[in-house]
A and B are shown apart, each in its own frame.
Chain A
Amino acid sequence: MNYIVLIKQVPDIRNIPPDAWDWEKGTLRRGMLDTVCNELDRQALAFAAALRREQDGRVVVLTMGPPFATEVLRYALSICADGAVLLTDRKLGGADTPATAYPLSQSIRKIEREMFGGDRNYLIITGMQSVDGDTAQVPPQVAEELGIAHIAYATGFHHADGALQVTRITRHGKEVLSPDAYPALITVTGWTEPPFASFGRTAWAFDQEIVTWNAEDVAADPARIGLTGSRTTVNRIFSPKDVSTKDCEYLTDMGRLAERIGQLYSARLSSQATAADAGEEYRLPEDKAPTFRGEVWVYAEADEGGLHPAAFELLGRAVSLAGSLNEKVGAVLLGAGVRPLAADLIAHGADKVYLAEHERLGHFSAIPYTETIGELIGAHRPQILLFAATPLGRELAPRVAYRTNSGLTADCTALDLIDLKRAGKEYTGILRQTRPALGGNIMASIITQNADIQMSTARPGVLQALPRDDSRRGEVIEHTPASPEGRSGLRLVSFEPVQATAQLSDAGVIVTGGGGLRTKENYDAYIRPLAAAMGRFLGVESMVGASRAAVERGMIDRGHQVGQTGQTVKPRVYVAVGVSGAVQHLTGMQSSDIVVAVNKDPKAPIFNVADLGVVGNLEESIPQLTEALRAGEVSR
């Protein structure tokens, strides 16, 4: 068995010098940042090394980048690779994900031919997403271009009866999959400690030759690479926050604080959902034809547990978009025995439900789902297709987009319609897709180009569902998958329902405890009940977080750490209890919508970024606030 590891050189976002931002141009001077190997690709290298220990073969590492990307190839050689390929060419620059996946795939084909002698027994391994682009689109799109299966979010593997079995985590549990055919592609999430290089192997790596190819060497069609081959383009980059300090509203009464939190939360939601201050709701101009035609679709994720609530959120937005465009709303529903769910979709805004039921679609698998959705798109040609940026959505949407030559933008936090004049072209009624990038350090607004369909994935909790209305009418359109016996490329070995650990990044509310709590007992006694009450009060998923000081004092494990050396989060509501607000912490949470701070030090810097503040002892305020939220929940 041979292995090809795809790696990427990315900017080191742990440390962005303040003068690297060019706010006038709205860009980041990437040249001012250090470069490193993408963190998850380091995990991929460790995965490949571990695989090879059990099944020997060659490990070839491949990257597409500028000439100095050799740096990460040398690193990969020092870890486990014994061959390295750099795909570099000015013509490849400016590419979005399909225009990256395609030349990478061409390179993989060339490696197969020339380095593996045509032997198709190999695995392609890569990190799930890169820290700068953050889309997780390229790996599934490489798989789609090569016509092979992919396993996303791999967290481990073992061999049984000579066959490789890969473990991955899904929304509802742990799956073990085995590739039916090779080559296959595996994307890896954090599964181990990132590997270190020994000095000896580092010295060896420096002496190795790096094979360099350009676009012509890999027979890349010029129409499918670079800016020309891109189906999306960045319209603008901007800061996620106002640079000015917020005006903090100080409160002493916890009942009033709970009320204010509720008010601010509702206000933020409604301003997002309708984009309506008077006159802001989009209207098609009378004299111009819209750039895109067709229905506005959403992909309704359904599984053993029923419909994912995000489907209703997507529908909420789709209804508004379709209304402005004078089009209908469609929901795509795949599965086996899911017909009853169509009524729920209609009650939440769908005019049509495109239903594809088949045994083959009973349990999610990327290839059959992609093929079926592709058929529906081919038959009905929508102009917009929204997916939820759930783990499933993030591995399905890229394959669907690639297959149908559509533009895809991942993890959008805002979707609205605009008219635009750009680079000599006019766009009317197009979707402006806004998303964070570079670890949340910048926001980008993106539009679709050179494609007929605009696709986006949106994070659960960002859009708002409409209230259920059973009086709504809609039709169910049945679709029979064209190749029901087709292979998925993967064999499901086992599935174990397991309560998946929620991610901090998915939480709508985060309550963080800082050093001011002093002990684990205090943390458990104050922070956890507050988080639970806050979540129920606002009707969103809530989680607990911690500053580094809290983690260092053993109050909770590092998986909950927010900050420069922890996670960057962007919840609707962020409550900081006993957190001083040193800049190292702020960088991890400053993009939160609503910040509530409780601290006994009136000069704590956390108040500079807070909307609501309480100066006082947390031993008194927190239980009172928790009570007030519980009372408020009851009365809502």
Chain B
Amino acid sequence: MTAVNRVDVLIVGAGPAGLSTAIRLQQRLNAAGRPERVAVIDKAEKVGQHILSGLVFEPEALDALIPDWKERRDPFVTKALGSEVRRDDTVFLTKTRAIRLPGWVMPPYLRHRGDLVLSGSEMVRWLAAEAESLGVRVYPGFAATEVLYGDSGVTGVRLGDKGRDREGHPQVNFVPGEAIEARVTVFAEGSLGQLAEDVVRKMGLDRGRIHQIQSLGVKEVVKLPADHAFGTNRVVHTLGFPLTDVFGGGTLYSMDKNTVAVALVLALDWKYADLNPQQELQVFKSHPYVGRMLEGGEVIAYGAKTLPEGGYFALPQPYTGGALIVGDDAGFTDVRKLKGWHNAMRSGMLAADAILEAIERDDFSAEALKRYEELLASSPVIADLRRGRNYRQMFTKGRTVYLGAPLSLVSRFVPGRIKTEPDYRGMKRVHLKRDYRGGYDRLSDVAVSGTIHREEEPSHISISDPDGCASCFREYGVHPCAYFCPADVYRFEDGELVLNPSNCVHCQTCRHKCPHQVIQWRVPEGGGGPKYKVL
């Protein structure tokens, strides 16, 4: 018999969407003098440790959430206000050259002047402090593994067990996962959130939608000497090298204390069986243009995370009885701008508004929570996504990515929805045969992600059909997962899979990209995973 805990509002995931929901809701509950309690749970040991983002941020969403934020006297605000983009370059890279695209060519959604360049993990820590000061309870270290359903729809979640050994037996310190029942549960797990997927599937919320597709971002933060050439208040976006036929590109953003965030974002439908994204990042850094800017640098942080790119037609119905879905968990990233943070925050705020109405009416049925979808529909979130509909999908229709680019300008005029294959079907027996040399090796990068899991905990990864691995090798000539995992979790020795689950950075690329879909990734014991600080 496991204990049952009850809260009024449970938010799963302390990211920008979840915390915005919590902050807005608690603000309004406090103003109305209402006693309802808001609880946020997060699987990281501490808030912010599983957050990774660009982050080039449109501050209007924060102005709406915390109107007086600019007047706060704290290190985060000071840093944020000083981070405004003043130099904004988009560059096309060939193997050796860099061609700067003139500003007037760039569509408005790809211009960043005036945006703030922030660290996502830092901002989330700041948002969590704000939430707690309002009276929200934030509980890190708890991973939700199962959605609980009842007659009215979603009734809560069950947490994962803690203290099992390798074989799954309870140890002396075993704590069984408790159930948390809530009048409404907000799913804010971020990209590839499994609980939201479960709700969408069970409640049929994706009827008539196209399936979601993702990109993977691998990111390093590089500490440079004080006199470095890159400069402050600057963002650079690149296209082309190192991969001209994978949708995506590189980014370089100035961060504080002489650091630069360098990242490569790659769509997960890539065809190369031997593409190693962490190593492609090193290749990107080796380009003369990039290398010059990062000269003398030392990598002080690393991480990887996916982002949803399906856009408007991939959005599920984001509500059902007793539940709402916010942020990247629903897929609100604007893929034209490649920005999801502001939409995550806005969706959270609108969810909060809908929840308050539900509380006041004491009605958490699907009919009542439909209000959330209505609020979204008349908000900039949906308006932006509608304008960007079919955008990403259009890139798959040109034979190369860049043929798709001009088509993308007219993507929204295409009637109906452009369908694409699921990402994992993109794999072909095609090899990059890249000579990976120089730069940081995968394990060294994993070391600066801070990722750690309890050594004795059960493996959170299993293979549903080991024959799948053998046939993968036959079909593709290599074991793709040994390449595409950004954290070197999958290795093959003498043809046998050797797992290192404790290296995992929780990006879930593996279960998404495995061509035979035999990788089962479950959320590990709460408290484990990366320890991002400045990503």
Which A residues fall within an 8 A CB radius of B? 12, 14-15, 17-19, 32, 34, 46, 192-200, 202-203, 206, 552, 558, 564-565, 582-584
Contacts and interface: CB of A to CB of B under 8 A. Distances in A.
A558 B456 CA distance: 10
Contact of A34 (B3, B5, B299, B531): B531
Contact of B171 (A14, A193, A200, A582): A193
B39 interface: yes
Given A15-B452, A193-B163, A583-B444, A203 B5 contact: yes
Given A15-B531, A19-B300, A193-B172, A565 B139 contact: no
B137 interface: yes
B395 interface: no
6 contacts: A18-B223, A19-B223, A196-B163, A197-B141, A197-B175, A198-B178
Nearest to B257: A19
Given A199-B5, A552-B500, 17 more contacts: A12-B531, A14-B452, A15-B452, A17-B300, A18-B223, A192-B173, A195-B173, A196-B163, A196-B173, A196-B174, A199-B142, A199-B178, A200-B3, A200-B5, A558-B455, A565-B455, A583-B443
A564 B531 CA distance: 15
B114 to A, nearest CB: 29
B300 A203 contact: no
Contacts of A565: 452, 455, 502
A192 B452 CA distance: 20
B337 interface: no
B294 to A, nearest CB: 15
A203 B162 contact: no
B127 interface: no
B139 A203 contact: yes
B129 to A, nearest CB: 11
Contacts of B193: none
Contacts of A552: 500
Contacts of A206: 137, 139
A199 B137 CA distance: 12
B261 interface: no
Nearest to B525: A196
B209 interface: no
Contacts of B175: 196-198
A552 B3 CA distance: 35
Nearest to B533: A17
A200 B178 contact: yes
A157 B298 CA distance: 50
Contact of A202 (B139, B447, B500, B533): B139
B443 A18 contact: no
A192 B172 contact: yes
B172 to A, nearest CB: 5
A34 B125 CA distance: 12
Nearest to B444: A583
B182 interface: no
A14 B447 CA distance: 10
A199 B7 CA distance: 12
B200 interface: no
Nearest to B223: A19
Contacts of B173: 46, 192-196
B301 interface: yes
A92 to B, nearest CB: 25
B450 interface: yes
Contact of B300 (A18, A198, A199): A18
B455 A582 contact: no
B46 interface: yes
Nearest to B177: A199
Nearest to B442: A582
Contacts of A12: 531
A164 to B, nearest CB: 20
B93 interface: no
Contact of B301 (A17, A194, A195, A200): A17
Interface in B428-452: 443-444, 447-448, 450, 452
B180 interface: yes
B447 A584 contact: yes
A202 B299 CA distance: 36
Closest 3 CB pairs of A and B: A193-B173, A196-B162, A15-B450
Contacts of B159: 199
A17 B3 CA distance: 39
A202 B531 CA distance: 21
Contacts of B448: 17-18
Contacts of A14: 452
Contacts of B301: 17
Contacts of A583: 443-444, 447
A199 B139 contact: yes
Interface in B140-159: 141-142, 159
Contacts of A17: 300-301, 448, 450, 533
A206 B448 CA distance: 32
A19 B141 CA distance: 26
A43 to B, nearest CB: 11
Nearest to A199: B178
A197 to B, nearest CB: 7
Nearest to A36: B45
Contacts of B223: 18-19
A14 B500 CA distance: 18
A558 B299 CA distance: 30
Which residue of B142, B173, B298 has the most chain A CB atoms within 10 A of its CB atom?
Answer: B173
A197 B177 CA distance: 11
Interface in B282-331: 298-301
A192 B531 CA distance: 26
Interface string B490-519: 000000000010100000000000000000
Nearest to A566: B455
A14 B259 CA distance: 23
A558 B443 CA distance: 21
B455 to A, nearest CB: 6
A565 B501 CA distance: 13
Contacts of A202: 139, 141-142
Contacts of A19: 223, 257, 259, 298, 300
Contacts of B141: 197, 202
A206 B38 CA distance: 13
A206 B45 CA distance: 16
Nearest to A558: B455
A198 B163 contact: no
A442 to B, nearest CB: 18
Contact of A198 (B3, B39, B443, B455): B3
Nearest to B494: A518
A507 B3 CA distance: 47
Given A19-B300, A196-B173, A198-B175, A32 B533 contact: yes
A396 B127 CA distance: 49
Nearest to B443: A582
A196 B159 CA distance: 13
Nearest to A564: B447
A19 B139 CA distance: 29
A197 B527 CA distance: 11
Nearest to A565: B455
B373 to A, nearest CB: 30
Contacts of B162: 196
Contacts of B171: 193
Contacts of A193: 163, 171-173
B135 to A, nearest CB: 11
Which residue of A14, A194, A196 has the most chain B CB atoms within 10 A of its CB atom?
Answer: A196
Contacts of B180: 199
A203 B137 contact: yes
A202 B162 CA distance: 14
Contact of B443 (A32, A195, A200, A584): A584
A15 B456 CA distance: 19
Contact of B39 (A32, A196, A203): A203
Contacts of B533: 17, 32, 34
Contacts of B299: 18
Contacts of B5: 199-200, 203
Contacts of B142: 199, 202
